[in-house]
Amino acid sequence: MKNYSISLISRKSLSTICAVALGFFTSMCAAQDSVLRDIENSVIKIYTTQAAPDYFTPWRLLTPRQSSGSGSVIAGNQILTNAHVVANASYVQAQKHNDPQRYLARVTFVSHEADLAIITVDDPSFFSDLQPLSIGLLPEPLQEVSVYGYPIGGKSLSITKGILSRVEQQIYAHAGAFLLAGQIDAAINPGNSGGPVIVDNQIVGVVMQASSGGRAENLGYFVPPSIIQHVLKDSTDGVNDGFPDLGFRTQALDSPAAKTAYGLKEGQNGVLVIKVFENSPAAGIFQENDVILSIDDFDIAEDGTIRLSEDLLTDYKHSIDMHHMGEEILVRYSRDGVENSVSLQAEKAQDNYSLVKGEQFDKIPQYYIYGGVLFVPLNMNLIKRWGNDWSRSAPVSLLQMRNEWSTPDRKEVVVALQVLAADVNLGYHDWRNWVVDSVNGSPIKNFKQFTDMLEENSEENVVFENKNGYQMVINHHRAMESESDILKQYRIPAAHSQEFINED
């Protein structure tokens, strides 16, 4: 009887324990399911109608196209997504998970450089049942991540898993910036753009692009937390300051002979200064052939990398990127073997370090028509108008300009893009994509000065000339006289863009 009682008690205890454990497990599963539902509900599908300018005929827009992307709800009734999802958008809508209604949305902040944007929906009911997601920390290498979004091929939310395989500086495809990025092996397709990369129920990245060129499969890139946080802080005043630039350019210094030539001692490493731009924080402080040894607490290796953690190396530029405007950046450098330190103030990057400006968005192209000749400033928008294979199909003369630094005397390239055939320009009807270096013997500084010279011209003829001596001569009186007829004949609304004058 005694043994029976003990057995009975043991069975009752075991049943109780099992019941408690089952209840706890069920409760945990229910809580986890609730968290997952909250994440799913906070992933938004974004619809846009985009109408980009046609840089071949800059008074027109390209045919509007509809596209979609993804985003995630964050604090402050904001939706975080990619800049390229809403670039040149004239109409934006947001749609919640498992909700057929589309809500009118508007863009509140864009960082094309970081390929990030913030949109919102003014209808207060949109966010009433949504939980904002927080920004987490960069995952460790080989950690599993989940990618949420609305890729093409279906209407419902898609969730894929992958492994974080690499973190380093990458060229962001949208605007060509060189910033820190994470690489994962999860499948990323059109429509995924802007969706969150999730670890431990937090955003650890924003999907931005897939590997291109067909050289790799199932490789994608995301904007990491440090870049996201930088943009979110930058957005608080509504003004996009971007990432700072100290105004110098460098090359790796991994040649033993070069190290000796520039005075480095045994065990010293750094990068060689090859260019210092005027009116920059570095102007008057650094000189060409100085060696940058460290920035803040980051020692620079001979290949130009810094160590962010035991397992993470990246380009030293990242140590500058993480600063905001006005902050002090400590730089240690060597000149002729003598080591020095200096604090530079982080300033907004100039937009004309190169003669060819980077790709711009949400802006009206500049152009000026004179004597039936269409003149435009050279930029990456124009070069990319030659298609996805622009690096091969665009004119070589224009591509070569990307390798030239701007100077105080020449900040921009002017191109005679095409000739609108008319009597005033007989003899030049087949001229196109022609770089103009001077007007009536005066060198061209930028597009503003170029248009000023034409507006203020008092000579009988205007002579456009390139560096090889080729000339195009247009009679000024006939150019003015024929302007309205040429515009009417080619159905062009105005002889120049409203914003054709650049600031000095």
**Active-site annotation, residues:** 84, 115, 193
Q: Compute CA distances 417 → 386, 430, 465, whole Å.
A: 13, 11, 14
Local structure of residue 410 (DSSP, 8 states) = B
Task: Tell me the C-alpha distance between 242 and 360, whole Å.
Answer: 14
How many Cα atoms are found within 13 Å in the side-chain-facing hemisphere of 447?
27
Beta carbons of 65 and 101 less than 8 angstroms apart = no
- Burial of 66 from C-beta contacts in 10 A (0-12 / 13-18 / 19+): exposed
End-to-end CA distance of the chain: 102
- For the record, the structure tokens of 484 come out as 């309205």
Q: Compute CA distances 242 → 232, 325, 476, whole Å.
A: 11, 9, 43
404: left (phi over 0), alpha (psi -120 to 50) or beta: beta
Which H or E run contains 395?
none
Task: Tell me the C-alpha distance between 366 and 447, whole Å.
Answer: 9
Residue 307 neighbours by CB distance under 10 Å: 13
In the three-class reduction of DSSP (H, G, I as helix; E, B as strand; rest coil), residue 61 is classed as strand
Find all residues with CB under 8 Å of 407, minimum gap 6, and list them.
none
Task: Tell me the C-alpha distance between 324 and 33, whole Å.
Answer: 39
Task: Tell me the C-alpha distance between 188 and 477, whole Å.
Answer: 58
Find all residues with CB under 8 Å of 173, minimum gap 6, and list them.
84, 115, 208, 209, 212
Task: Tell me the C-alpha distance between 151 and 266, whole Å.
Answer: 53
Task: Tell me the C-alpha distance between 336 and 287, whole Å.
Answer: 11
* Helices within 42-157 (DSSP H only): 83-86
- Burial of 194 from C-beta contacts in 10 A (0-12 / 13-18 / 19+): buried
